[in-house]
């Protein structure tokens, strides 16, 4: 049986498109639950309960478009060999994946400051959790009102 390139590619592309459509239709959009956020925080914090203070989370109160929401975080620390910020994790409670970003620092960083943009599916809390070199953990939470969702919402 001889099959031309055109026939072979046509059948291959049709089969591939069919699989893609089936995967899309078969998937359901799920959002992170509060339990997912708590589990991520517990794993990141090593089971410790985060305290307040030390960490500042800057976000807009209202995001007119959830596709690109600016967020920045800073943590007060001397950033010395004995006392520094190891990492900061940013989470969004109502997104398909709760973990948005994790930033890692060393004493050579000089200061623990980071910024990024993220997508938010809907109005929700955004959290930042900082892990210090001495094992202490701190968190901050802001609620962002989203008028147009960025994750398909």
Overall average pLDDT of the 121-125 stretch: 91
Overall average pLDDT of the 129-146 stretch: 97
CB 140 within 8 A of CB 56: yes
- Note the pLDDT tens digit of each residue in 2-39: 766 666 556 655 555 544 444 444 444 567 777 889 99
pLDDT classification of 41: cutoffs 50, 70, 90: very high
Provide the whole-model pTM.
0.77
3-state secondary structure of 3: coil
Q: How far apart are CA 96 and CA 120, in angstroms?
A: 9
Please tell me the predicted confidence (pLDDT) of residue 25. 44
Overall average pLDDT of the 114-142 stretch: 96
- Note the pLDDT tens digit of each residue in 44-87: 999 999 999 999 999 999 999 899 999 999 999 999 999 999 99
CA nearest to 151, candidates 36, 31, 20: 31
Length reported for the chain: 153
Spans of all domains in the chain: 34-146
Q: What would the CATH number be for the domain defined by 34-146?
A: 2.60.40.2470
């Amino acid at each position: 049986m001889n099959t031309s390139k055109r026939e072979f590619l046509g059948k291959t592309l049709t089969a591939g498109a069919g699989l893609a459509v089936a995967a899309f239709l078969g998937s359901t959009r799920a959002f992170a639950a509060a339990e997912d956020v708590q589990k991520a925080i517990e794993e990141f914090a090593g089971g410790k309960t985060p305290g307040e203070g030390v960490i500042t989370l800057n976000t807009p109160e209202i995001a007119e478009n959830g596709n690109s929401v600016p967020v920045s975080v800073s943590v007060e620390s001397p950033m010395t060999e004995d006392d520094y910020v190891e990492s900061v994790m940013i989470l969004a409670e109502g997104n398909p994946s709760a973990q948005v970003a994790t930033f890692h620092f060393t004493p050579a960083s000089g200061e623990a400051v980071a910024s990024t943009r993220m997508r938010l599916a809907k109005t929700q809390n955004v959290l930042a959790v900082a892990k210090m070199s001495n094992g202490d953990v701190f968190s901050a939470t802001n609620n962002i009102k989203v008028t147009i969702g960025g994750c398909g919402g």
